[in-house]
Structure 1
Amino acid sequence: MVCIPCIVIPVLLWIYKKFLEPYIYPLISPFVSRIWPRKAVQESNDKNQGKIHYKGTDINGLPTKGPAEISDKKKD
């Protein structure tokens, strides 16, 4: 059984996004932009910061397709 807020909140959010936001957003956007100004993202001078290199992985850290490292363990 699902609780009432789990049903009501998504429905109210959908109604707001679909029908009310196109009319309300232009009215409140000037106030929001004053309170919450956008700041430019600054790049650091160290380009290797945050980059981690692993053998056998791609950019996202997921295993690559292809041969993996060959282990030195004996096979029975």
Structure 2
Amino acid sequence: MVCIPCIVIPVLLWIFKKFLEPYIYPLISPLVDRIWTRKPIQESNNTNKSKVDCKGADTNGLPRKGPTEISDKKKD
């Protein structure tokens, strides 16, 4: 059995999105634009930040536990 909110909430959201939002959004959008200002993202010219040393990391980029060098010698 499916609970009532699992049926009612998606239906109400669909009704809002389909029928009410086209009328409400033009009224609210000027207010939201004044309150929520968008600041431009400044790009830096420093390319050194993107270079990462991956010698001590595994394939996922996470640091490995244990020695980073693999030895071919057998230990007695």
Report the counterpart of residue 11 of structure 1 in structure 2. Answer: 11
* Unmatched segments (≥5 aa) in structure 1: 55-60, 62-76
- Between structure 1 and structure 2, the one with the greater Rg is 2
Q: Secondary structure at the residue paired with 1:8?
A: helix
Distance 2:51 2:11 in 1: 42
Q: Which amino acid aligns with 1:26?
A: P
Distance 1:51 1:2 in 2: 51
Shift of the 33–51 alpha-carbon distance from structure 1 to 2, 3 Å rule, reads farther
Matches within 5 A, 1:33-72: 33-47=33-47, 49=49
What root-mean-square deviation, in Å, do the aligned CA atoms of Structure 1 and Structure 2 show?
2.5
* Unmatched segments (≥5 aa) in structure 2: 55-59, 61-76
Report the counterpart of residue 25 of structure 2 in structure 1. Answer: 25
Distance 1:50 1:3 in 2: 49
TM-score (norm 1): 0.54
Q: Secondary structure at the residue paired with 1:44?
A: coil
Question: How many residues get paired?
Answer: 55
Deviation of 1:49 (Å): 4.2
TM-score (norm 2): 0.54
Report the counterpart of residue 67 of structure 2 in structure 1. Answer: none
Q: Which amino acid aligns with 1:34?
A: R
